[in-house]
A and B are shown apart, each in its own frame.
Chain A
Amino acid sequence: MDFNTKFTPHTWPDHPEQATMEGKNKVVGFWIFLACEVVLFASLFATYLALKNKGPAGMEFTTQSLFELPLAFAMTMLLLTSSLTSVYAIYHMRNFNFKAMQTWFGITLLLGLGFLGLEIYEFYHYVHKGFTFDQSAFSTAFYSLVGTHGFHVTLGLVWISTLMIRNAKRGLNLYNAPKFFVAALYWHFIDVVWVFIFTVVYLMGVIG
């Protein structure tokens, strides 16, 4: 299929992301990548749970003394909402509405940036208190887990913004529809991981 075929809303396929062989392969391949990400994050979660609150004798840092619910709640709301806005972006992609899709992806980026800003603030705050990466087994496990998630958020922001800029003048076609779709999948996956982070790390950490 010629990837540069021009479409109208009437000729745009119902599932543009899987309308071509490349699109079908891309979506399946990306899901297999996400399955590997599940394993990666599981190893980090398991390590964190095993090493939680463990460190040198007399260590003053515990999950209860460090974590604050309002900050975790704000971060959760930002990321959850950004997941919905990327659903809106894909909804408009399927309706062949390029401008609306770009707008919703733009809002997703802003919410993601807000989340990242709060995470940087949080890490800065902990490091200021002396809770550095190599302070204890607990701190290393914590920063590895939450930091790997933060790295994924950063990568997602770079990825989506690059896609938006690269295709700004091209409009929608069957070449870039699968690209936008898998970027949205990636963003949802970041949210899936965060659901477990706020539950297992922050909520269960505050209780002890």
Chain B
Amino acid sequence: MSSHDTPIVAKSQAQYEYDRHHNAVHMRKQVVNFAIMIFFTFIAFAVVAADFSKYLIFPLILLLAGVQVVLQLYSFMHLEDKKTHFGGVIGFFMWMGILIAFTFFLAFLTIIWW
């Protein structure tokens, strides 16, 4: 067993029940986040179906998409979990990816003349 491995210890019954409860509470939060995502999706489709001005719809649905993605990354993909190892490395690469992604949009939509 290397020093990087988590030692295997048998939990006491009290610890086991506490952790189970903690996991269940966490899962309930995930369901709430899911409800928020579904709600945002409904709003996005509803404002488009209702045919509001596109100067209202575009920023609104892009904002809703942004919030949904943050919920996916931090909640569903466990980035908010402080116990994730090398969380800093993961965050660094993801944000660099997003930065490069932004330069694509900038270049393709404003700088290149098609």
Residues of A within 8 A of B (CB): 1, 5, 7-11, 13-15, 18-21, 24, 27-28, 31-32, 34-39, 41-43, 45-47, 49-51, 54, 69, 72-73, 76-77, 80, 83-84, 87-88, 91, 94-95, 185, 188-189, 191-192, 195-196, 198-200, 203-204, 206-208
Contacts and interface: CB of A to CB of B under 8 A. Distances in A.
Given A10-B16, A38-B98, A69-B45, A45 B65 contact: no
Interface string B97-111: 110111011011100
Interface of B: 1-2, 4-6, 8-11, 13, 16, 19-20, 23, 26-27, 30-31, 34, 37-38, 41, 44-45, 48-49, 54, 57-58, 61-62, 64-65, 68-69, 72-73, 76-77, 83-86, 89-90, 93-94, 96-98, 100-102, 104-105, 107-109, 112, 114
B6 A19 contact: yes
Nearest to B70: A192
Contact of B97 (A39, A94, A199): A39
B85 to A, nearest CB: 5
A172 B30 CA distance: 23
A91 B108 CA distance: 41
Where chain B touches its partner, the secondary structure class is helix
A207 B10 CA distance: 58
26 contacts: A1-B5, A19-B6, A21-B2, A27-B85, A34-B94, A34-B97, A35-B94, A35-B97, A37-B97, A38-B94, A38-B98, A41-B101, A45-B105, A46-B107, A49-B105, A50-B108, A76-B45, A77-B41, A87-B30, A91-B23, A95-B23, A188-B76, A191-B76, A195-B68, A203-B57, A204-B61
